[in-house]
Structure 1
């Protein structure tokens, strides 16, 4: 019987093998080694290769917690096929509690990268060349940045029936249609033919239990759909179908001041509904923020102080039919 060849970092992973490989591209400026663990579980039975990644932005640790739980709960031990887990890709940012690499670049704008480019570009290049060739499917876990809390959501490109089916299976509370961004990991995966779901949930430097559960449960449904989930693991169906969003827009602060958010993320609001208040510290004014249109709050700002022009809410504008 012929088996699919699975190679990571130049090493072949054989059926029934469990292995952790370390990707080391560069050291800290102190000469301390800094390695990116890649945890691989391959079943004795042939099947797809699924990659679960997090920490592309070093401060988005909720995704790291989702992948960590998948490993600890042995959800990554497949019935068939191979599951590759990389809980922290941007290990430099993770160490520094920073979104970017030490060179100031956003790794998620550097793909497919270059072997002779910047540090972030080199990391992107090694990931594409040494990990991705064996991968069939990927779920990339992210969180909101700059104190902005994302409702649990999947993002896929429009007009792709295969990704739509996989998103239906994952069944996050929301699914957003969004085009791939040049230089992004998602865009690079698409060009390689890897079917990728991008998960967003929570905010930077924070771990939210509900978001974590959404990520883990959705991944289990995803693996069950591919007939890869270990039979010992139970799958909990989602409470209701995902809400598909075709278009959305940001609400920005018209004033600087103290920000009091009255509206939980995920809520359906009506046009003109009060959703927050901005006040000054000295009791001179209170500005009521109203929803510009009816829609779901899919992201809200958790900051206590905002400046004029800051993004404070992300609201759906058109639901997909």
Structure 2
């Protein structure tokens, strides 16, 4: 996280309330609305899906966007603004409501509705670092690559897929989306579960940092992680498979990280992607703004 902080530039707020937040904790949503409305001129938007979510952001005008939702709502907004090449000029605010809040906590956003809403009103914008991959995806927190034996991963709900790309489900009828929303409301929300595949073993991957090989295919690894760091660098940690004594992790820093080898899946923040044969992440410094407590 960068240390540069500036005051919010607009007292007019566009409050976008994610449908998952409305289903998950309607009372926290109500509290957030009351606090924000008491402290600023607000326009409330209640999108029913990712298409309406995207339209609301696109039509924000001079209003400062405030997201009421969980990590997935924040990731969706950052991804949309990045693809529209409007991310650097749009400071986001978040009132975390939902089941997936680990990213929000790690970024420094208060998780209580009152504290988070007051931070929106009285906080300051901080410039944040991120990773951009070669498919134009963004990573706010971390990339984690599990072992090859974890190739069979339970996918996120259909809503997750829609949130990432905005394409699947675009042609669905409203009644079908309503049924899907009802099912998601009735079924307990659980994080993605990694299931071991029969005969799975350690991953054999080539990890390159700024063109230099950190680990090659002949050395099996247990896990790889890539996180955005200060100064426009990415921090890389590779954990080799232990034989006898525990092997020390391999650490490196650089602007560009490429992972290749047998097809692998990876988790970027809360989403699981892949399988892919190669993926490259580039670190971007001060790439987006988030309002945090002073």
Normalised by the shorter chain, which TM-score bucket? 0.3 to 0.5
Q: Whose strand fraction is larger, Structure 1's or Structure 2's?
A: 2
After TM superposition, the score normalised by the length of structure 2 is 0.36
Which structure's relative contact order is higher, taking Cα pairs within 8 Å and 6+ residues apart? Answer: 2
Q: Whose helix fraction is larger, Structure 1's or Structure 2's?
A: 2
